[in-house]
């Protein structure tokens, strides 16, 4: 993979940096996480199957806002003909939506323990850079169908809400799934990670629009099409120039910033 050790996807004010498995395990040397509004809303997001982290086969990050991770269960080596395969699909945009699919290639059913560990340190970008400690209060809250990770300092509140459309046992550190897959069948869980900002006149909740990764991707592509309609069009008989121009438009879209003071409006995040 050319020495690359991380994958980044972004949209507007949100970006996710993970390892090649799709996992987030932030440390001083690895500033991974879900970042929004200059704050890290997830510092841990680890997938395990039967207690083991999967191995990487490949990744697909052709879109700046969408990435796929192709994995196999951890066995100590990737040079095996695995009976199971795992696909993680992640679309970022006002938090992120993730679909985890496990395919059973066996001629018999399998029962698995699937776990998604989650934690948030709510570090701002300076705290991430300099490893500074926060002065407020951290908390976790389990509601009927969601895990809420939070940070409070006086009236300043930041929260990360995590839900799944698949039945899960939820505790303060993540979600656990008891998975049964029939021969040559598959299992999928759609997880929604939502960021919440409250304080100092703010009351803002970001959501990816429900459990639907394809819906999130469609919205991103419509946004790109709308941007393209507002910009000059290039017509020429040099295909390479057309591809370069299109790529520059996509890069410009990736740099858009959506300020709270201008709802529905975008500004360039870099000059």
Average pLDDT over the chain, rounded to an integer:
81
Tokens of 164: 């799944």
Q: Which of 13-17, 86-90, 101-105, 236-240 has the lowest mean pLDDT?
A: 236-240
pLDDT confidence of residue 137: 92
Statement: the pTM of the whole predicted model exceeds 0.85: no
| Two tokens, residue 53 | 């982290």
Q: pLDDT tens digits for 204-238?
A: 454 444 444 555 555 555 565 666 666 677 788 77
> What are 86's two structure tokens?
């795992």
Q: Are 209 and 219 in contact (CB under 8 A)?
A: yes
> Phi and psi (nearest 5°) for 226?
-65, -40
Per-residue tokens: 207: 């959501």
Domain 6-211 has CATH 2.70.98.40: yes
pLDDT in tens, 4-14: 889 988 877 78
pLDDT at 64: 80
pLDDT in tens, 142-180: 998 899 999 998 888 999 999 999 999 999 999 999 999
What pLDDT is stored for residue 13 in this prediction? 77
């Amino acid at each position: 993979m050319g020495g690359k050790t991380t994958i980044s996807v972004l949209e507007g004010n949100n970006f996710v940096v993970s390892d090649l498995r799709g996992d987030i395990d932030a440390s001083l040397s690895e500033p991974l996480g879900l970042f929004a509004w200059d704050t890290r809303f997830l510092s841990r997001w680890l997938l395990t199957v039967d207690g083991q982290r999967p191995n990487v086969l490949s990744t697909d990050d052709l879109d700046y806002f969408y990435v796929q991770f192709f994995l196999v269960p951890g066995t100590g080596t990737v040079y095996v003909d695995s009976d199971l395969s795992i696909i993680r699909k992640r679309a970022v945009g006002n938090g992120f939506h993730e679909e985890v699919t496990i395919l059973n290639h066996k001629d018999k059913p399998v029962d698995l323990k699937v776990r998604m560990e989650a934690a948030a340190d709510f570090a701002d970008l300076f705290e991430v850079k300099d490893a500074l400690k926060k002065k407020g209060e951290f908390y976790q809250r389990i509601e009927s169908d969601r895990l809420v990770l939070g940070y409070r300092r006086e009236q300043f509140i930041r929260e990360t809400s995590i839900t799944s459309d698949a039945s899960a046992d939820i505790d303060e550190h993540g979600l656990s799934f008891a998975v049964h897959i029939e021969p040559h069948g598959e299992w999928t869980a759609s997880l929604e990670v939502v960021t919440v900002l409250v304080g100092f006149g703010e009351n803002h909740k970001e959501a990816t629009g429900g459990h639907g990764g394809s819906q999130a991707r469609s919205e991103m592509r419509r946004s790109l099409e709308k941007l393209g309609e507002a910009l000059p069009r290039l017509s020429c008989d040099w295909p390479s120039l057309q591809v370069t121009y299109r790529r520059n438009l996509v890069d410009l879209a990736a740099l858009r910033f959506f300020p709270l003071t201008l709802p529905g409006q975008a500004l360039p995040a870099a000059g």
